[in-house]
Amino acid sequence: MNEAYIKNVIYGVAIGDALGMPHQFKPRNSFMTHPVTNMTGFGAFNLPAGTWSDDTSMTLAALDSLNDGLNYPKMMENFVRWIENGAYTPTGYAFDIGKGTQDAISAFQKGTPPLSSGSTDETNNGNGALMRLTPIALYLAVSPHSESSTFEIIRNFTRLTHGHSRSIVASGILTNIMLQVINHPKRPILENLTNGINQARRYYDRKPVYQAELHYFSRLFNLAQLSDMSQSSIKSSGYVVDTLESVCWCLLTEPNSSKCLLKAVNLGDDTDTIASILGGLLSMNPQTNFPIDWQRQLQGQNQLNTIIKNSSNYLK
């Protein structure tokens, strides 16, 4: 996996994050008359255009840890550096940190082992694990594992911050979609979505601990029906199921990559995370090119480029 490919993917994550960041928390109806059409700033956190948030920061922290292989304590230490010291940020300080993520990192700091840090409570099913899955997909693409080992890695990566079975299933679905796009970029997106979702569904359906969670993802198991749904039927909250549905619905209903990303932002609510996940996923197809102005406006590019360059030495 060469540096240019990794850069395309990570910049996709950051571009989606930066497009959505100023507009998060806004209700959908606020975009009806004033839709987002370009990179803007000074919204939710009063920061310049091109500023990325926790989605990209956690992605970079996870990616930076992989130079030691799958080192979960190091990942958590990097997350601590992000929160405590502003590492992996374009601003010098961390902001927009989800409660589940904050609680897990605090638990780790107090001595809880990394793989037990994420709460298993049902209320801890925000999308804080989904937002940082891109590095683990890249890792698995260059270092193939058996099916059981692949899903165990996804489980471990997720429960650093989110230990409930529903979040683990959501991560398994999204990671397998990402692997399909990485490995088969020329296939239609519907085929890659279908294959990734079905692979995860078959695996989790064989595991009693996850079987009870599958009905929450029922709309993803019928993509033809999902693609026919109106925007009003799609929820764009930070709940893992809503986030996954929003990402897939945008992919199914808008073939143009830039318009697809803007469509995600204009759903409202958790605009930065949904667009960030979508930006990374779209960019796993090497043919994806977002407007050059979006890339030029990104803050913190020296930091992005350094981590990307280093990662190309071990993502081979």
Q: Which residue do the tokens 């370009």 mark?
A: 38
Distance of alpha carbon 25 from alpha carbon 237, whole angstroms: 9
| Residue 311, both tokens | 């990662």
Residue 150's identity, in one-letter code, is: T
| Residue 26, both tokens | 């806004």
33 marked as part of a ligand binding site: no
Distance of alpha carbon 296 from alpha carbon 305, whole angstroms: 13
* Closest among 72, 21, 103 to 269, alpha carbons compared: 21
53 marked as part of a ligand binding site: yes
Distance of alpha carbon 192 from alpha carbon 283, whole angstroms: 14
DSSP state for residue 231 in the 8-state scheme: G
* 170: enclosing H helix or E strand: helix 165-183
293 marked as part of a ligand binding site: no
How far are the Cα atoms of 32, 73, 274 from residue 131, in angstroms, in the given order?
A: 26, 19, 8
Do residues 235 and 242 lie in contact, with contact meaning Cβ atoms separated by under 8 Å?
yes
| Residue 179, both tokens | 């692997």
54 marked as part of a ligand binding site: yes
Distance of alpha carbon 50 from alpha carbon 66, whole angstroms: 26
Evaluated on CA atoms 292, 56, 152, 309, the torsion sign reads positive
Distance of alpha carbon 12 from alpha carbon 295, whole angstroms: 9
Q: Would you list which residues are annotated within the binding site for Mg(2+)?
A: 53-55, 270, 272-273
Q: Would you list which residues are annotated within the binding site?
A: 53-55, 270, 272-273
